[in-house]
Amino acid sequence: MSAADLARLQFAATTGIHWLFVILTMGLVPLVAIMHTRAACTSDPAKRAVRERMTRFWGQLYVINYAVGIVTGLVMEFQFGLSWSGLSKFAGNVFGAPLALETLIAFFAESTFLGMWIFGWGRLRSGVHVTLIWLVALTAYASGYWILVANGFMQHPVGYEVRDGAAYLTDFGALLTNPSALLALGHLTLAALTTGGVLVTGVSTFHLARRTEETDLFRGSLRLGLWVAMLASFFVIIVGDLQFPLIERTQPGKLAALEESHLPWHGLLRVSTDVMTITGNTVSTITFVAVFLLWKDLLVRWRPLAYLMTALIPFPFIASAGGWVLREVGRQPWLIYGELTVDDALSHVSRGSLAVSCSAFIAIFVALAAVNWTLLTRFARRGPYGIQFGATEPLTEEPRPATAAF
């Protein structure tokens, strides 16, 4: 493999794996925020306890996934400078601004507020505590917006001019309202909500089918998750289709590679696009039917049906990976469409260094992804019993030790 191939593999692996965490983080956080708000607004103590346990159960899954997602995001932030210094040389004046603003507006706030939310149980006032999770949700999507402004510039550069071989920002408004960014944000938001909704649905039907004692908790979760999944998976297809006229206008090369078999990357693009479309439509259809089966708990009375919903959990991830390949591989050979090729942007880093870093990052990320999914599965199966997250009992049963020991 050449240095360019290794650098691309490293970037693709980092982004691709990061994305699998992000889509679930973004999908779960609004649902957790809704659950927490409902719990805080309930005055009946028994109902409130159920809703609080519901928040903590899904909140724990969300936080486990966030823990791994944030570390891959950290590496993402460095990737541009590490292997693609040609990007900052050519487009740093334009491309750097949204990344800087993403960290200052969104990432900073999201992490600080999430830390406070995790440790705020029983310590912060309920209203403040609920506000924190909404701020986390808001900043998660704000983060997505700024990243897509940067990514939109790579797909369809706007608001700049090239002088002496470097891009200069001329129209900040155009950069912020780049249709390639806005449509993608709509598509990704709906895809994330589908992912979160399907996960909540699948885990809930699993527990209900196993005749859990927490019927109120999981019935409530199921209704919320399924409605969100049904609506989001319907509209994600519509917004996805809206992008094709834009691609036709701004990235003719991408559509050509998708349609014409003699062009490079055709096979991969075709397969990914079909996988995205088929899995997306499957999820949409099944969740649509399932909403009707909520009536009289039909969905969980017949177990195979309940387990079918559980089996649906991986589908949105598969579909989104397909969509990501279409968007990013379809951009090749350009890093910034029509302006800068991937090969021209490569840093002067030796092949040996890249080989080492690439294998190290891939090994670490794959291991983390495996740990993440093992933990998610274990904690999702275990159910809300004995949950550590948000437990307000004392930190340690410290026996007051004799200071004489020292």
Partner 1 sequence: MSLESLWLALLGLLLAGYFVLGGYDYGVQMLHPFLGRSGADGSRGAREAAEPVGRNAALAAIAPFFLGNEVWLVAFTGVLFGAFPHLEGSLLSGLYPLIVAILAGLVLGNAAVQLRGRAHSARGRRRWDALIVLGGGLPAVCWGLVLGLLLHGVPRRPDGSFHIGFGEVLSPFVLACGVTTALLFAAHGAVFLALRSAPELASAARRSGTALLRAAGAAGALTLLLTLLGAGAPMRNGVTSALLAALFAAALAGAWWWLSRERHGRAFAATCCATVLPVLLVGAGHYPYVLASSSGAGLTVRQAVTDGATLKILTAFGVVLIPVILAYQTWSWWAFRGRTGRRHPSYF
208 binds partner 1 (CB under 8 A): no
109 binds partner 1 (CB under 8 A): yes
CB of 85 to partner 1, least distance (A): 3
CB of 83 to partner 1, least distance (A): 7
The alpha helices in 156-178, defined as continuous H runs, are: 172-176
246 binds partner 1 (CB under 8 A): no
Dihedral sign of CA atoms 135, 138, 141, 147 in order: negative
CB of 356 to partner 1, least distance (A): 8
- Contacting partner 1 within 48-87 (CB under 8 A): 63-64, 67-68, 70-75, 77-78, 80-83, 85-87
Q: Residue 130: left (phi > 0), alpha (psi -120 to 50), or beta?
A: alpha
Token pair for residue 293?
A: 């089966």
238 binds partner 1 (CB under 8 A): no
> How many residues sit close enough to partner 1 to count as binding (CB under 8 A)?
84
Amino acid letter, 312? L
Residue 336 φ then ψ, to 5°: -115, 115
By beta-carbon proximity to partner 1, the closer residue of 73 and 220 is 73
Element (H or E) spanning 124, and its range? Answer: none
111 binds partner 1 (CB under 8 A): yes
Among 15, 88, 282, 332, binds partner 1 (CB under 8 A): 88
User: Contact 25/62 with Cβ under 8 angstroms?
Assistant: yes
Site string for partner 1, 144-183 (x = CB under 8 A): ------------------------xxx-x-----------
102 binds partner 1 (CB under 8 A): yes
357 binds partner 1 (CB under 8 A): yes
96 binds partner 1 (CB under 8 A): yes
Task: Give long-range contacts, CB 8 A cutoff, 24+ apart: 211-219.
Answer: 212/383, 214/50, 214/53, 214/383, 214/384, 216/47, 216/50, 217/50, 217/53, 217/54, 217/57, 217/384, 219/297
By beta-carbon proximity to partner 1, the closer residue of 152 and 316 is 152
Query: What angle separates helix 126-155 from helix 3-41, to the nearest 10 degrees?
Result: 150
User: Contact 346/4 with Cβ under 8 angstroms?
Assistant: yes
Residue with tokens 């993403």: 102
Among 40, 54, 118, 269, binds partner 1 (CB under 8 A): 118
Nearest to 389 by CA among 128, 106, 149, 67: 67
Among 13, 353, 362, 373, binds partner 1 (CB under 8 A): 353
By beta-carbon proximity to partner 1, the closer residue of 107 and 206 is 107
Element (H or E) spanning 51, and its range? Answer: helix 45-83
46 binds partner 1 (CB under 8 A): no
- Contacting partner 1 within 330-349 (CB under 8 A): 347-349
Q: Which residues lie closer than 8 Å to 359 by C-beta, 6 or more apart?
A: none
**Spatial separation of the C-alpha atoms in residues 21 and 365, rounded to whole Å:** 11
By beta-carbon proximity to partner 1, the closer residue of 99 and 229 is 99
Q: Considering only 108-116, 189-197, 242-250, 326-334, which stretch makes contact with partner 1 by CB under 8 A?
A: 108-116
- Contacting partner 1 within 363-392 (CB under 8 A): 364, 368, 371, 375, 379, 388-392
CB of 247 to partner 1, least distance (A): 27
Among 5, 123, 298, 302, binds partner 1 (CB under 8 A): 123
CB of 169 to partner 1, least distance (A): 5
**Spatial separation of the C-alpha atoms in residues 341 and 349, rounded to whole Å:** 17
By beta-carbon proximity to partner 1, the closer residue of 96 and 179 is 96
